[in-house]
Amino acid sequence: MAAINTHYGELEDSYLFYNIAQKINAYLAEHPDRHLYRMGIGDVSLPLAPAVIAALHEAVDDQAEAGTFHGYMPECGDPALRQTIAGYYALRGVRLSADEIFVSSGASDELGDLLDMFSRSGSSLVMEPAYPAYVDANVMAGRKLIRLPSGDHNGFVPMPCEEAAADIIYICSPGNPTGAVFTRDQLQAWVDFANAHGSVIFFDAAYEAFIEDSDIPHSIFEMDGAGTCAIEICSLSKTAGFTGTRLGYTVIPKTLTRDGMNLNEMWVRNRTTKTNGVSYIIQKGAAAVFTEEGQRQIKENIAVYKKNAAVLTEALDALGIWYTGGKNAPYIWMKCPDGMGSWEFFDLLLEKVQVVGTPGAGFGACGEGYFRFSTFGDPEDTKEAAARLTALLR
């Protein structure tokens, strides 16, 4: 009989989005004519930028002619795209060589796959409330999980402490679900801590493009010493609407070593064994994101989401409700009013004002009593949701 990975049996069932869907379906069955204001989705709603669409069409045409046809692409990414992404980092003063950048099919794939390079008997630190994939990927791998809770006392930005000395430390900034960001000093403290303990930071920069405060770091590699303790995972999903198109990139510096092994070289070996690269067409589309025109267009889309965020945060400010996020992140993480629980507040919003968000309890125990709004929705719906929230909670 085939012995299987029994750690899958240790996964907790994720009821979050299932429960939300069940509640919505039940509500709509009873009130079929009601419109719902959906502020729960983590997916983008605007289409790809015209520059990306043009590049994708061109790439499809390339595949139609023998002279321009591309077969297998290099497993670690098209060298030209890797160079382009290195150029994007250079704009912020981060110097990387093209072969420190690995083109991927997205951040989720990488967040799990990177664990391949680490001993299964190691530990991982997850700061909660957390993006659920961090926890589940580590449970599947059979690794020891250390949960570091956070709360409004530290603005949902936990700082190093002795129990945080794990082999791998996940940091997400700007954060999902909290929208909280680490300042330069806070991130430097984690880099110093990781170097002192031999930990490796997995820095999830999926939302870096939403940062607007000039003193908030976009990349862990803006910190001194990150080259010896960090891997950065990034994605065009939210930056450029690639959730259904799929492209990300991972940075592994050549200076990152553990146990006499070089992690950049290990990852080359891993990718060349376990993948055959991202498709030519998608890499061509991704390259267009980094052109002047592409950057202007994706920023126009991000501005739409930011306007949604401003509409919601203005409403919360007027109501005197505590929250994080919204400014440098597409998520707003609010404290439920009157000591209400996350699900209780979910039910109240659905029943009374037909606004749908995400209960914070679904992102870890310390998320109880909080609620997440996404700003990726329709602008008119967002305005109406803010007005309804104000009328209900005033």
CB of 32 to ligand PLP, least distance (A): 30
CB of 245 to ligand PLP, least distance (A): 10
Query: Among residues 182 and 393, whose Cβ is nearest to ligand PLP?
Result: 182
Query: Among residues 366 and 393, whose Cβ is nearest to ligand PLP?
Result: 366
**Is there a contact between 218 and 203 (Cβ–Cβ < 8 Å)?**
no
In 3-state terms, what secondary structure has residue 262? strand
> How far is 389 from 205, CA to CA, in rounded Å?
31
Question: What per-residue string of b and e applies to 162-184 under the rule 16 or more CB within 10 Å gives b?
Answer: eebbbbbbbbbbbbbbbbbbbee
CB of 305 to ligand PLP, least distance (A): 14
Query: Among residues 130 and 350, whose Cβ is nearest to ligand PLP?
Result: 130
Query: Among residues 176 and 295, whose Cβ is nearest to ligand PLP?
Result: 176
CB of 97 to ligand PLP, least distance (A): 23
Tokens representing residue 268 in the block? 């080359």
SS3 for 3-71, per residue? CCCHHHHHCCCCCHHHHHHHHHHHHHHHCCCCCCEECCCCCCCCCCCHHHHHHHHHHHHHCCCCCCCCC
Query: Among residues 131 and 210, whose Cβ is nearest to ligand PLP?
Result: 131
CB of 41 to ligand PLP, least distance (A): 10
**Which H or E element spans position 373?**
strand 370-374
Nearest to 168 by CA among 233, 76, 248: 233
Query: Among residues 106 and 367, whose Cβ is nearest to ligand PLP?
Result: 106
Question: Residue numbers of the site for ligand PLP (CB under 6 A)?
Answer: 42, 106-108, 131, 172, 176, 204, 206, 235, 237, 243, 248
CB of 68 to ligand PLP, least distance (A): 28
Could you tell me where the DSSP H helices lie in the chain? 16-30, 50-62, 79-90, 107-113, 132-140, 184-197, 237-240, 263-274, 280-289, 292-319, 342-353, 379-393
CB of 31 to ligand PLP, least distance (A): 30
Query: Among residues 108 and 188, whose Cβ is nearest to ligand PLP?
Result: 108
CB of 248 to ligand PLP, least distance (A): 5
Query: Among residues 305 and 389, whose Cβ is nearest to ligand PLP?
Result: 305
Strand order in the sheet with 168-172: 101-104, 248-251, 230-235, 200-204, 168-172, 123-128, 144-149
Q: Which residues contact 166 (CB under 8 A, 6 or more apart)?
A: 122, 123, 124, 125, 144, 146, 199
How many residues belong to the chain?
A: 394
Give me the DSSP letters along 89-107: HHTTT----GGGEEEES-H
Q: Which residues contact 330 (CB under 8 A, 6 or more apart)?
A: 174, 179, 207, 210, 238, 305, 309, 374, 375, 376
Query: Among residues 286 and 316, whose Cβ is nearest to ligand PLP?
Result: 286
CB of 112 to ligand PLP, least distance (A): 10
Longest CA pairwise span in the chain (Å): 67
Query: Among residues 175 and 369, whose Cβ is nearest to ligand PLP?
Result: 175
Q: Which residue has the tokens 């023998």?
A: 66
CB of 319 to ligand PLP, least distance (A): 26
CB of 17 to ligand PLP, least distance (A): 12
Query: Among residues 179 and 253, whose Cβ is nearest to ligand PLP?
Result: 179
